Homo-oligomer: A and B are copies of this chain.
């Protein structure tokens, strides 16, 4: 008779007796405990996370569980075997959600800590108590202030522009000559320029100082409210870029900008989006908007052009020329950003039409520019921007991947919003799918990570052949011939909120393959261009908010990412916002990011003959060259076991 074990589930307190060797997930099902298992207990989604508080279990290995997680007692219920009496804590649904968001926030905030940089914000607040003027000392107001700042803070050659002068006489006297001067160091350039006076506050206001790091994505805008004294991120707010109403991708925005006052309209929309986020942050943290004294902005080249009111027209047409790569600092008042009107808004420099400041920011925050490992950095969004290099050299390109992963060109594709299918698992035998939607709502469509998962599952389960064609001879009603050729039904109409079967057709598959092929060809061309092979790459850093949700295993299975050990891949989250944050806090990093943008060699793929060849080779699942994808070959073999 096999050994029995007692399992206690917390916080419900439910107790069940099971055989030793039972899976924790099976025990939970039998005890009536609701554990999320969207992959159907195949050990592939990582959502059935629990904590083993007491007792012995055996965990099967999983990419979703780090050794640190194991030390904390974490376990995936479907991959954990009960070895004796145990106490298991099952997080509530709210806890799962909170944990995910707290981790995301922790990741964002913690990452820069590992960077090797001095925190030295560009904003300096100096309190000075001056002697009032007299007939014996009748220096003018501006020089009196400068003198005090020179004596007490060693500030030299302070620049005091007209708008500040216009308030000076009154403020000094109302404050009885005790004021806090807000100074901005102008240190984007190679040399140290004099500081600029951007605020003058009565009394001692040196106890607080705030700055903002902004990532303007084509889809999402994210703002980090930063305490410039502790250098910590105090709060994060994000929202859709209101420009979406004028086009979902950069190309359609550029087209929109050509119509009438389209450019001005797009500029107003992004300023509005940012101002709304600022108002939210100010209200939530009880900070006066005028106390925010600096803003650093990262974004792709088109987003930055629209933000600054620069005509993006020539970004779109060959030979793809932006107006500027390193935009000059601009005053908040010039743009209508509702912070201290004298504050500077600095845009992180880009490299070219399709490798923007968001990528320079990514290279900065990912520390790619400091590592001696050969590193591939990828930011997957509308386009895939790729950087290869190390602390010595950097080469980059942009693959005109198209917005398939963002939902365009795929019939049931959608952005990653509530009701989007974000992960899919297809049973190898029954070919029945299980899926996970954002917000656990009834499905409306499929977002980027869902498409990658679905494509990989369909391929590995044998629904698709290597050319991306649907096998018609399969014993399931889910595979059928539709308007766009063969298709696979992920969700039947009655389970959806749209009242239609959600399918992936051969046409959709072709678009997705085209996209992933462009990105993979980008990797190949970059690596070949410097005389190396993909196998020489020591690490792959994945940035961009989309990147955070990519399942590496599945991305390799479709040939989007190169086949290498999973531990070489690192998710970095929103590297663009992090780069803006880093730049905001450190003048040395500010100079570094200018240097990074300047030293990145931009490879224009449309001018590179080998790109088309590599692209065609990648138009298969996973690739023409199957030998480059050994792990995929293994997975396909195991299917037939």
Contacts and interface: CB of A to CB of B under 8 A. Distances in A.
Interface in A313-348: 313-314, 318-328, 330, 334
Contact of A162 (B134, B325, B328): B328
Given A165-B308, A309-B166, A313-B169, A138 B319 contact: yes
A321 B141 contact: yes
Given A165-B324, A309-B166, A311-B166, A607 B140 contact: no
A133 B161 CA distance: 37
Contacts of A135: 318-320, 604, 606-607
Contacts of A136: 607
Interface in A126-181: 133-136, 138-143, 157, 159-162, 165-166, 168-170, 173
A133 B141 CA distance: 50
A320 B134 CA distance: 8
Contact of A604 (B138, B313, B328, B606): B138
A550 to B, nearest CB: 30
Contact of A323 (B159, B165, B321, B606): B165
Contacts of A326: 142
Number of copies: 2
A168 B323 contact: yes
A139 to B, nearest CB: 8
A328 B165 contact: yes
Interface residues of A, number: 47
A543 B313 CA distance: 57
Contacts of A352: 138, 140
Interface in A199-242: none
Contacts of A324: 140-143, 160, 165, 168
A586 interface: no
Contact of A330 (B162, B189, B321): B162
Instruction: State the main secondary structure of chain A at its contact with B.
Output: loop
A612 interface: no
A569 interface: no
Interface in A593-626: 602, 604, 606-607
Given A138-B602, A166-B311, 7 more contacts: A135-B607, A138-B319, A140-B321, A143-B324, A161-B328, A162-B334, A168-B323
Interface of A: 133-136, 138-143, 157, 159-162, 165-166, 168-170, 173, 189, 308-311, 313-314, 318-328, 330, 334, 352-353, 602, 604, 606-607
27 contacts: A133-B321, A135-B318, A138-B320, A138-B321, A138-B352, A138-B353, A138-B604, A140-B321, A140-B324, A140-B352, A141-B321, A141-B322, A142-B323, A143-B324, A157-B189, A161-B328, A162-B308, A162-B327, A162-B328, A165-B310, A165-B327, A166-B311, A168-B310, A169-B313, A169-B314, A169-B321, A169-B323
